[in-house]
Chain A
Amino acid sequence: MATTTKARTSSFSRNPLAGPTSQVPGLKPGPNGAVFLSSGIPDLDRILGGGFSLGSLIMVMEDPEAPHHMLLLRNFMAQGLIHNQPLLYASPSKDPKGFLGTLPNPMSPKEDRPRDHGTDQDKDLRIAWQYKKYARENQQGYDIRDSKLEYCNNFDLRKPLERQHFGGKHIDCVSTQALTLDVIHQRCSTFLAQSSRSGSSISCGGRIAIQSFCAPQCGYSDKDWDMLAFIKSLKGMVRASNAVAIVTFPHSLLSSSFSKRWQHLADTLLSVKAIPDEDKELAQLLTGYQEMVGFLSIHKVARINTQVPVVLEASTFSIKLHKRRSLVLECLNQAPIDGSSGASYGTSSSCSASTKQGSLDF
């Protein structure tokens, strides 16, 4: 941190981090000296401008009724294992190791881009109000497919991750149920110590995934301030290291004031929401409703080394399971509605799909 900048006094100097990172698989240099690490979901990487930046704390607000945050965690962890990055997984379940068995496997290169098929089929029929969706798919510039190890894989949620990816590297599983915060803190700091930013070389990014941090089965769930202190210090530690931490929490269990404090601590703040099975109104309103499993909202994108906020084209995306196996995020496409039925939604939804900011009030 401070040691790297001490020597430099002139305004223009070579960034020592810029060079070596490009060779490390699974890491990608970004603007403002940030280094990105893939979230395991190609669409999320694209939306966030490259992925999660190293040293940032990502918080995910869970849906109280559905385990959609697990989808994000699974892809995040599986991507890390494929890139041979060390992993620390903490979960309130009794057997956190068992969760590793549910991680998805990357698709074989042949069937890698399933969505290309889909667009080929209805290529002749393109409707103007969905043009954004197509314009995007044509310019997938960031896809580094020729390199052997991809920056971001497409995962097949139906196939478990192959055994070969588990071997040899550092995987640490912690059950938060029995442990105190001090012990978890200790585990995190020893984990991060091995991936600390030593000098100018970035070895490889580490990943910390903490699931349902303030769940009631944890012994510390009533100690609001201790949990905040833990997150604060986790943030500090991660910032000084070469890792990314993702923490999911059921925000409805916290008081509104504490929930806000948690949200302020996050560098990148996401929330997931399930959609009810049989919501007729919603089905009418949105196209592709059958494939949708939920919504992902992006409240805050990490601003490391910059003061300019990232303004996304939309903040709410639909989570879709394409062909029941790959996770896809899409801009919400509202079906054209006729005046009579759409009257109640007229205020919140403008006609153009591109400008809406996803303030979906459900």
Chain B
Amino acid sequence: MEGRSSNLLDEALGIFNESSSSSSSSLPSGSCVLIEDSVETSGAFVIHHILKRTLSPHSSSSAAVVFVSLSHPFSHYDRILRKLGCNLASHRENGRFFFFDMLMLGCTDQSMGNLHNGVLIELYGKIQKVVEDIISSGGNSKCITIILDDFSLIEVAAKGSFNHSFDFLRYCYTLTSEGCSLVILNHEDIYFGEESSTPILQMEYLANILIKAEPLATGLATDVHGQLTILNKGMHDKTRSSTNKVQNFHFKLKENGVECFFPGTRA
């Protein structure tokens, strides 16, 4: 188990880590991954895992990550990824990791963001510029992953206007046609009840890999931190035979990685 470099989560995401030159260890290009979590179980670890895989030495050196963070500062991710064996600070210097610290997005000191519409456009402009820079510097072989942590805070920055925030998301989604892949974290339980479930449904429609992190139905446990349900809608890419595959397994988080296993397969 320990010796395997890829685990269930990688397989479900379509990340292949064989040494064959054709497949890289980053997400299939053009994919859109939506991670849904809840108050009880955070899905942030999936982001850390994807980050680690994308920036790992096995992946092609052209892989780059554009990280838009609204929930944590750089030091937080830096420390976590360091324990996972990935040095974000040096990747940042080498131009493989671009971090947007958007903790204060939409809240300037004086007036708490009357220009809510403008900030998202501005943010998208920044992302697009970075993506273009990467593509122009490295040719078409570059594979870029855009990570958004997390979408519910984009909505807050847009003062609750779902149209504005979803427009932002769709703009980011257009970048997938240029070979980028998009990873979004969102909270599922926000949209329960009332007529408020449309946003999450629209996002689920957009995504082709859907990851749900849920707590165990039986309560908290020290050995199992929750369960993942991964729906892979399959890409139009014919080489991989994954059409609407649902996988379900438990996970345990450790400082140096995620352990994934099928229910009941661990003592």
- CB atoms of B44 and A307 under 8 A apart: yes
Interface string of A256-287 (1 = CB under 8 A from B): 11001101100001000000000000000000
Shortest beta-carbon distance, B68 to chain A, in Å? Answer: 14
Which residue of B190, B219, B221 contacts A260 across the interface (Cβ within 8 Å)? B190
Contact surface of A with B, Cβ cutoff 8 Å: 1-2, 4-6, 8-9, 11, 32-33, 181-182, 185-186, 189, 224-226, 228-230, 232-233, 235-237, 239-240, 255-257, 260-261, 263-264, 269, 299-300, 303-309, 311-312, 315, 357, 359
CB of A4 within 8 A of CB of B75, answer: yes
Bound-state CA distance A261–B222 (Å) is 26
* Overall SS of chain A's interface: helix
Asked if B112 and A185 make an inter-chain contact with CB atoms under 8 angstroms apart, the answer reads yes
A304 near B89: Cβ-Cβ < 8 Å: no
B window 64-123: CB within 8 A of A: 70, 72-76, 78-80, 82-83, 87, 89-90, 93, 99, 101, 103-104, 106-107, 109, 111-113
3 closest A-B pairs by beta carbon, nearest first, are A233-B107, A236-B103, A225-B160
* Nearest CB of chain A from residue B251's CB, rounded to whole Å: 11
B193 engages A256 (CB within 8 Å): yes
**By the criterion CB–CB under 8 Å, are B80 and A305 in contact?**
yes
Given contacts A225-B160, A308-B253, A311-B221, contact A255 B194 (CB under 8 A): yes
A307 surroundings in chain B (CB, below 8 A): 44-45, 48, 80, 253, 255
Are the C-beta atoms of B187 and A9 separated by less than 8 Å?
no
Binds A, one of B24-32, B149-157, B204-212, B233-241: B149-157
- Please determine whether B221 and A1 come into contact, CB atoms closer than 8 angstroms: no
B35 to chain A, nearest CB (A): 13
Whether B225 lies near A232 (C-beta < 8 A) is no
**Given the contacts A260-B39, A260-B187, A9 and B90 also touching, CB distance less than 8 Å:** yes
| Interface set of B (CB-CB < 8 Å, partner A) | 39-42, 44-45, 48, 70, 72-76, 78-80, 82-83, 87, 89-90, 93, 99, 101, 103-104, 106-107, 109, 111-113, 152-153, 156-157, 159-160, 187, 189-194, 196, 219-222, 225, 253-255
Cβ-closest chain A residue relative to B220: A357
Contact A240 B90 (CB under 8 A): no
Contact yes or no, A308 B89, CB < 8 A: no
Which among B87, B160, B253 is the interface contact of A9 at CB below 8 angstroms?
B87
A257/B90 in contact, CB under 8 A: no
Residues of B within 8 A of A226 (CB): 112, 159
CB-based nearest A residue for B70? A232
Q: Is the CB of B89 within 8 A of A9?
A: yes
Nearest Cβ distance between residue B82 and chain A, in whole angstroms? Answer: 6
> When chains A and B are docked, how far (Å) is the Cα of A307 from the Cα of B253?
7
**Which of chain A's residues has its CB closest to B223's CB?**
A311
Which residue of B39, B73, B80, B187 is within 8 Å of A306 (Cβ)? B80
Distance in angstroms from A109 CB to nearest chain B CB is 37
User: In the complex, A264→B74 CA distance in Å?
Assistant: 19
Given contacts A182-B111, A255-B194, A315-B220, contact A2 B74 (CB under 8 A): yes
Q: Contact check: which of B79, B93, B109, B157 meets A33 at CB < 8 Å?
A: B79
Are B187's CB and A1's CB within 8 A?
no
Contacts of B193 in A (CB 8 A): 256-257
Contact in complex: B156, A2 (CB < 8 Å): no
Once A240-B73, A255-B194, A264-B39 are accepted as A-B contacts, the answer to whether A228 and B187 lie under 8 Å apart by CB is no
Q: Which of A9, A189, A229, A307 has the most CB of B within 10 A?
A: A307
Flag if A32 contacts B79 (CB, 8 Å): yes
Q: Which residues of B contact A235 (CB under 8 A)?
A: 103
- What are 8 A-to-B residue pairs whose CB atoms are below 8 Å? A9-B90, A232-B70, A236-B107, A255-B194, A261-B152, A300-B39, A307-B255, A309-B41
In the complex, how many angstroms separate the beta carbon of A247 from the nearest chain B beta carbon? Answer: 15
- The answer to whether A257 touches B73, judged by C-beta atoms less than 8 angstroms apart, is no
Cβ-closest chain A residue relative to B187 = A264
Measured between C-beta atoms, what is the minimum distance from A329 to chain B in Å? 18
Q: Which chain B residues border A1 with CB–CB below 8 Å?
A: 73-75, 101
Partner of B253, one of A269, A304, A309: A309
Is B79 a contact of A185 with CB atoms below 8 Å?
A: no
Of B79, B101, B152, which is within 8 A of A264 by CB?
A: B152
B196, chain A: closest CB distance, angstroms: 5
Q: Contact at A5–B112, with CB atoms within 8 Å? A: no
Contacts of B93 in A (CB 8 A): 9
Residues of chain B contacted by A185 (CB below 8 angstroms) = 107, 109, 112
Neighbouring B residues of A357 by C-beta, 8 Å: 219-220
Query: Considering only CB atoms, which chain B residue lies closest to A8 in the complex?
Result: B89
User: Closest CB-CB distance, B139 to chain A, in whole Å?
Assistant: 27
